[in-house]
Structure 1
């Protein structure tokens, strides 16, 4: 099948050809005809398989040309990076049309975005929070909206956007076409789909939460944080790791990894760190530099797990195992894109084995284990770090079995360090102790 079979107009076909799309992907083959026929569509496919074009081509075909002052299409996405990526895709696919499109996201002041809205727009791509912010200022007219698309709905649920999404659904016209696309489809998103979609046509080209076939997965069992750092440095010493994304669980860990790598492994101008505390201009510049190949290593949190589309990413390294298990699919989906091979490496401590088992259940396959290379130094685990791991394992077992006491539960009269509580006052165990009513040597109080 070719894109000509979709009966797209010549402007779109020319843009598709110039973008390098030769044949439609399975999700595009199934979703585009349904969307162009006006059906509500629920699309589930692996990340990196062309979901964005699967809804943008029908949207652009339906919108056709610039018209009126107010938007006719609203596309919601969870992160600024993904909003910018979708807006860039509209610019690429709609380059031979006069359709006006605009990206709305936080991190910068709304003044410039409001001015752009006032000039007239046909397609809005927005995060839910920024859309409601500008709408409540009375700057966005919604009466002309006839199409709504929700991209990565599962991530929006995890990020707590549900109240804002419900407010948006209350104010936009009821009569509209709806599309929802994602790589994963947990139960809470299924509940949302009942509110959001009307008699949807479900398109599931692969089982939800499947990993891409072009990605080689590896798992290293590591004893501690320092071993993770040493193993990361060893992997980056390989020239085959030409463009790498390192995912960390927290902003603090991401900063620490960046400082270490910039000091000892990667030239300072070839590495960047990206997380929610970075300013919007810094985030945009870092993403652009990474896409252009000016940066070899991008250290980041899950802020970019669904917001970066770079075909040449050679390696994804999960420095920490994600606690939102579906994010594993999105993280490793940053490599192995557009029929290119890639490698996804995960580091796992004893406290993360629990989460890896849950991920393996979701992706319906074991992640192949690898031995730590002999060249990697494995330092001894500090006592405090080992205790933290054991305490976390206790909490995990308590989740599975509420009756489980664990090694760190509080015993009556015994602090967590194991020392018995010293008896206070006169007692059979301490008969010589002074009375607890007053301290020795202190004057007695007279009753007044």
Structure 2
């Protein structure tokens, strides 16, 4: 297995421009129609992971890409996948991308559709939480690329509605997340259903033992490309972190003032429970903010409505649980707020990694309850943050205003003059036939 490593400290580019000294997509022999589509989206030069992946993947070689979300890996596998398709195809899927979550499924589908819009490529998304009928109809109508979550893909393949016999390119995206969610047995079953003569690309932020075993078993002489030396180190360099010891009863007022900080753009707020996520979102809306929640008690239509509204800027605050936020990758997130403290250092890294991406800076704020201080100290020590004792902080504390650039006259409500966003109601909710309301159980069945 060959291996390439890249120094993340040299990665200083913006979110779409790529590094100024990296080759363009055209330089690497990418199809002119793909180059044209990328250029129209403002993408010309490659990120590090793309610069090393593309020459190998375009030749059909197997690749292991080690990179966290936000480093450009989607185009690292998406461009070769699109370029190697036979178009027009006969309607049987030629490429399969397996992802851990519905949200990432939709995002990858959108990215590939934009990159391949001049190729006449047919792409469909397959995931749980919506009726089988529409997905089966899409497959029967003919597709070239299928992007889906493991459980639903396996269901449709076993029902023979999804034909895998002509798959020539297989991608496993965020493999470590799929391991965490218990999808590894499903992945192995899918891998045994696709032709052995294929190109396989595996992408993962970390390489735990089971993922390495999977790679050794199912990939052929892969090249291991590592796009950053350390996920936590890269985040620390770009993200300013604040940790406050806060009283639970004061958190709503404190958060309302934090959200009026100078330079705040899109913001993600994390909670541990579904109930708290909805409660925080509802409270912020009542205070005049454009907020929406994403959690397991919402039906798929409501979740996608919230994500579309967040990506389009109709709402600028997304309140989410850790499970619901898996795979959500939205450009321009300036602030991450841990309303409830993460369970461990890995969750902390994943949460604050939503900001400070691709060379941009970000702000991460963590609120620690009194009884959580020992657990926070463990996280701080494990990550080398050197912040073992959170500063006692209230919504009236002067240092809060100074740290975050909050106007001195800010109150717990957003002034009417600043309520300029359309809000969640401005984004239509699709009816998937499975709408669930708050307080009911989440989407059932496989993802």
| TM-score, normalization by structure 1 | 0.77
Counterparts of 1:216 and 1:28, CA distance in 2: 24
Evaluate the alpha carbon distance shift between residue 375 and residue 169 of structure 1 in structure 2; reply closer, same or farther with a 3 A threshold.
closer
The residue number in structure 2 matching 1:254 is: 277
Counterparts of 1:167 and 1:61, CA distance in 2: 27
**Number of residues of Structure 1 aligned to a counterpart in Structure 2:** 375
| Backbone CA RMSD of aligned residues | 2.5
Identify which range, 83-92 or 301-310, moves more after superposition. Answer: 301-310
Over residues 84-103 of structure 1, what are the superposed CA-to-partner deviations in whole Å (9 max), with x where a residue is unaligned?
A: 00000011100110111110
2:339–2:366: 8 Å Cα contact kept in structure 1?
yes
The residue number in structure 1 matching 2:356 is: 336
2:183 equivalent among 161, 177, 193: 161
SS at match of 1:5: coil
SS at match of 2:191: helix
The residue number in structure 1 matching 2:321 is: 301
Identify which range, 43-52 or 205-214, moves more after superposition. Answer: 205-214
Over residues 360-406 of structure 1, what are the superposed CA-to-partner deviations in whole Å (9 max), with x where a residue is unaligned?
A: 566565469763556447xxxxxxxxxxxxxxxxxxxxxxxxxxxxx
Q: Unaligned regions of 5+ residues in structure 2, if any?
A: 1-22, 398-447
Instruction: Confirm or deny that 1:209 pairs with 2:228.
Output: no
Instruction: Confirm or deny that 1:38 pairs with 2:64.
Output: no
Give 1:72-221 correspondences, 5 Å limit: 72-210=94-232, 211-212=234-235, 215-221=238-244
The residue number in structure 2 matching 1:243 is: 266
- State the 4+ residue runs in structure 1 displaced beyond 4 angstroms: 350-370, 372-375
SS at match of 1:42: strand
1:248–1:300: 8 Å Cα contact kept in structure 2?
yes
Please state how far the C-alpha of 1:233 moved relative to its aligned partner. Answer: 2.6
Counterparts of 2:275 and 2:213, CA distance in 1: 35
Structure with more contact order per residue of length (Cα contacts < 8 Å, sep ≥ 6): 2
Larger gyration radius, structure 1 or structure 2: 1
The residue number in structure 1 matching 2:338 is: 318
Identify which range, 327-336 or 177-186, moves more after superposition. Answer: 327-336
SS at match of 1:4: coil
The residue number in structure 2 matching 1:288 is: 308
Counterparts of 1:92 and 1:74, CA distance in 2: 17
Please state how far the C-alpha of 1:213 moved relative to its aligned partner. Answer: 6.2
Instruction: Confirm or deny that 1:3 pairs with 2:25.
Output: yes
Counterparts of 1:209 and 1:361, CA distance in 2: 16
| TM-score, normalization by structure 2 | 0.77
